[in-house]
């Protein structure tokens, strides 16, 4: 039971998932081309509060030179500093047209016209348990207990828990929470996101 709840509540750590996903992207990009320029990743407060820590950050190596910026003060996020960022992990959805999102963006970010960004990842946050899916899974087990026993045997033999992971994923309700952006060249892409 502890493993089930541990898995479910891991969705509270969307910052950790976001930085892990970005690390995978960076490792792939730098392993393919180790002579790229240094990378600067800006991580905002909600990302830090939900799992981005020193332990989740990549270390400098021969292949990659990386710096993590955690500047909180909007006045310090000047155009010069903002223009140095290669990636941004934030709770702001740049695509959202809502007034609330626009007000939040204005309160957190400097007025930046020259930077263009592409959304490369969306990380979700725990938002509850789906009672309907719990009931549906319970009915499945009652209607076909042999399937559950069979899947338990497979899991025990192969140590592959896909059947159970898939069911747990269906039980958890999530909402989009963190967005990872990569700087793009405005000449290369007309649909770039402007802050």
Tens digit of each residue's pLDDT (9 = 90 or more) over 168-189: 888 899 999 999 999 886 444 4
Q: From CA 106, how far away is CA 28, in angstroms rounded?
A: 34
74-78, 103-107, 141-145 — most confident range: 141-145
Q: What is the pLDDT of residue 95?
A: 75
| For the chain, domain boundaries | 2-194
Q: Give mean pLDDT, residues 35-44.
A: 86
Angle between helices 131-143 and 162-171 (to 10 degrees): 140
Dihedral over alpha carbons 178, 184, 190, 193 (to 10 degrees): 30
Q: What is the pLDDT of residue 111?
A: 56
How far apart, in Å, are the Cα atoms of 17 and each of 55, 99, 154?
13, 28, 28
CB 73 within 8 A of CB 43: no
Q: What's the whole-number average pLDDT of the chain?
A: 82
**Residue 4 pLDDT level (bands cut at 50, 70, 90):** confident
Q: From CA 179, how far away is CA 182, in angstroms rounded?
A: 10
């Amino acid at each position: 039971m502890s493993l089930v709840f541990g898995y479910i509540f891991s969705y509270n750590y969307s910052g950790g998932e976001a930085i892990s996903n970005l690390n995978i992207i960076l490792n792939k990009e730098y392993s393919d081309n180790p002579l790229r320029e240094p990378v600067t990743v800006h991580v905002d407060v909600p990302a830090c509060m939900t799992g981005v820590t020193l332990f989740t950050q990549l270390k400098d190596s021969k292949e990659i030179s990386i710096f993590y910026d955690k500047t909180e003060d909007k006045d310090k996020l000047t155009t010069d500093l903002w223009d140095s960022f290669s990636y941004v992990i934030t709770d702001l959805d740049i695509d959202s047209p809502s007034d609330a999102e626009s007000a939040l963006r204005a309160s957190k970010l400097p007025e930046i016209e020259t930077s263009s960004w592409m959304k490369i990842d969306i990380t979700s946050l725990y938002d509850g348990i789906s009672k309907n899916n719990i009931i549906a899974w319970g009915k499945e087990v009652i209607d076909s207990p042999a399937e559950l026993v069979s899947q338990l045997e497979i899991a025990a033999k192969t140590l592959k828990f896909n059947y159970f992971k898939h069911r747990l994923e269906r039980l958890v309700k999530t909402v989009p929470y963190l967005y990872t952006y990569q700087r793009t060249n405005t000449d290369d892409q007309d649909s770039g996101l402007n802050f």
